[in-house]
Chains A and B, each alone.
Chain A
Amino acid sequence: MSPLLLADLTVFTLALLVGFEVISKVPPTLHTPLMSGANAIHGVVLVGVLLLAATISTPAGYALLAVAAFFAAMNVAGGYVVTDRMLAMFRSRS
């Protein structure tokens, strides 16, 4: 295994553990916004699509890139907005 892969694996494992730790404290009341918010976070895949764009130079590649960008942008933009909309409704007794 290359040192780079080892470093990536370390980061992955620790992030997984941090995720378990942080998320297990979220109350059931907020599970839907949590899932929707986590959904928005995997919209980070758009960063990956941007990085990929530099290496693409064929017509089929452009088509694939456009579809990937469409999917990722929809994920990230929609995910955050809909989560915010939901959380705005959670109000205290006023």
Chain B
Amino acid sequence: MSAFGTVVHLIYLGCASAFVIGLHLMNAPATARRGNRVSAAGMGVAILVTLAVLIDDGRINAYAAWALGLGTAAGTVAGLVAARVVRMTAMPQLVSLFNAVGGGAAALIALGDHPATTQAEVTGVLDVLIGALTFSGSLIAAGKLAGRVPGRPLVVPYGRAVSVVLALLAAVMAVLVIGFDGGTPALWGAAVVALAAGVLLTLPIGGADMPVVISLLNACTGTAVAMAGFVLGSTPLIIAGALVGAAGAILTKLMADAMNRPIGAIIAGGYGTGDAVAVAAGSGSAPVREITADDAAIQLAYAGKVVIVPGYGLAAAQAQHEAVALAQALTERGVEVTYAIHPVAGRMPGHMNVLLAEANAPYEQLADLEESNPGFARTDVVLVVGANDVTNPAARRPGNPVSGMPILDVDRAKSVIVIKRSLGHGYAGIDNELYTDARTAMLFADAKAGLSALLAGLSTYAR
């Protein structure tokens, strides 16, 4: 290896280390931002060094240089603009979109490379199949999250039969590439098959399962990038791809566990509509106790310890600022306030934490499932805002759709106030036994309006 080659390799090693150290620093809120910057610095160096390699190599022709330059410039601008203007509630679809283009770029690398060795053929086929599937799958997922594609599970006619045919076609293309030197045309065939498979796999998956789906697609992109690294013989791609693959795999498992649903069943789809069904207030079978905003405000004001349980309804109503304002007002009165956040409270892993952080909630007040549950018995008032299935005590009994799902033990608190638009069902489609509990009072309102009314009540009646 030439001296230049050795130096380049050592610098790549440094960059890969920066990715690992960056991810390591992400394990605490205080160091996470620094971690991301370490990772970004490693990335910057890796790109500059590769540019130096490209110039040193000297084989690139003028047209390719222009294509590369223009594409990179346009992509950078598009990425920066999207990153700057996105609202925090729209974060899941943006992450999904970046995931799609990463997978797409990985697939295009194998399509542009002419496989010469068996190794390049095998990894090239894998790269194209996984990358193209992730590309179309992530775009559909982003569309569902953004509301451009219906969030309900879309049933594809003969979906299963078509899946089997696509899997067979993918295998045929793989054999053509690897066994018969089918080269680039067969790889394109594989790409088309995988694009169709990505759409077909994502369409039937319901809105409630989105946190699992985008985690899984994230893992797929990582794997595709690692495969592109095998095709090109490039270590940084292999390492970074493996790291992302691991991250996606862990999050997928955590999310599936938090919903107590096997990953296979989620991919099979058909569960969770994502579109709330509006049922008129008070139409449930068992009696519920209603409370006015003013009474609820007084109850909160004279509590010692209050836990706020935010759910998807809060995110949908963009009421995070009102929730934090209420928490601040209570804290100023000397009430101990924390937030109990279920792992699937948002539309992607950890989404609710980002929304609350945006509204300036101190991260010491944000507690996860394991941290929150022991404290509910000592809690005077739990304020549930737009959360449903994750608080249903029925989950502790076998034989219903939420059985075995880890829940927040809200019903162990001394009293519970639920802000909800109606008695409509959650994704699981069953009655929430919490609402008919004697200690529970319902405040029928949209999350934003309900929280504002509580805040107003607090300043009027409890000075």
Contact = CB atoms under 8 A, between A and B. Distances in A.
B64 interface: yes
A8 B26 contact: no
A90 B43 CA distance: 23
Contacts of A54: 54, 57, 59-60, 64
A30 B221 CA distance: 20
Instruction: Determine which residue in A47, A72, A81 has the highest number of CB atoms from chain B within 10 A of its CB, and name it.
Output: A47
Instruction: Determine which residue in B74, B229, B247, B366 has the highest number of CB atoms from chain A within 10 A of its CB, and name it.
Output: B247
A32 B350 contact: yes
Nearest to A76: B43
A72 B308 CA distance: 40
B243 A19 contact: yes
A12 B73 CA distance: 31
Contacts of A19: 23, 242-247
Given A42-B244, A48-B237, A65-B68, A92 B83 contact: no
Interface string A22-65: 11111111111111111111111111111111111101011111
B378 interface: no
B225 A45 contact: yes
Given A25-B27, A37-B39, A74 B76 contact: yes
Given A5-B119, A43-B102, A80-B40, A37 B72 contact: no
A69 B343 contact: no
B229 A28 contact: no
Contacts of A36: 91, 95, 98
Given A42-B102, A75-B105, A27 B368 contact: yes
A35 B350 CA distance: 9
Interface residues of A, number: 85
Nearest to A79: B98
A92 B363 contact: yes
A68 B71 contact: yes
A85 B80 CA distance: 11
Interface in A1-25: 1-2, 4-5, 8, 11-13, 15-20, 22-25
B7 to A, nearest CB: 16
A40 B26 contact: no
Contacts, number: 393
B204 interface: no
Contacts of B61: 56-57
A29 to B, nearest CB: 5
Interface in B3-37: 16, 19-20, 22-24, 26-30, 32-33, 35-37
A41 B362 CA distance: 28
Interface string B352-378: 011001101011111011000000000
B224 to A, nearest CB: 8
B287 to A, nearest CB: 36
A55 B237 contact: no
B245 A16 contact: yes
Contacts of B94: 78, 82
A88 B358 CA distance: 9
Given A38-B23, A44-B46, A72 B67 contact: no
B29 A46 contact: no
Contact of B84 (A11, A25, A81): A81
B105 A46 contact: yes
B64 A45 contact: no
Contact of B348 (A32, A43, A50, A68): A32
B39 A52 contact: no
A62 B67 contact: yes
Contacts of B23: 19, 22-23, 26, 34, 37-38, 41
B374 to A, nearest CB: 16
Given A72-B75, A74-B79, A75-B98, A90 B32 contact: yes
B246 A39 contact: no
Contacts of B99: 39
Nearest to A13: B242
B83 A4 contact: no
Contacts of B46: 44, 47
B75 A44 contact: no
Interface stretch (B107-115, B276-284, B383-391): B107-115
Contact of B101 (A8, A12, A44, A74): A74
Contacts of B30: 92
Q: Shortest 10 CB-CB distances between A and B: which pairs?
A: A19-B246, A78-B79, A31-B350, A69-B71, A73-B75, A15-B242, A93-B362, A31-B349, A82-B83, A66-B71
30 contacts: A4-B119, A19-B246, A23-B247, A25-B27, A28-B343, A29-B341, A29-B350, A30-B32, A31-B254, A32-B354, A35-B218, A37-B26, A38-B244, A39-B244, A40-B36, A41-B244, A44-B225, A52-B232, A55-B114, A64-B108, A65-B68, A66-B67, A67-B108, A71-B75, A76-B47, A79-B83, A84-B40, A85-B84, A90-B32, A92-B363
Given A30-B32, A39-B102, A46-B72, 12 more contacts: A23-B246, A23-B250, A28-B368, A37-B39, A40-B36, A40-B40, A48-B225, A53-B68, A70-B72, A78-B82, A79-B98, A89-B354
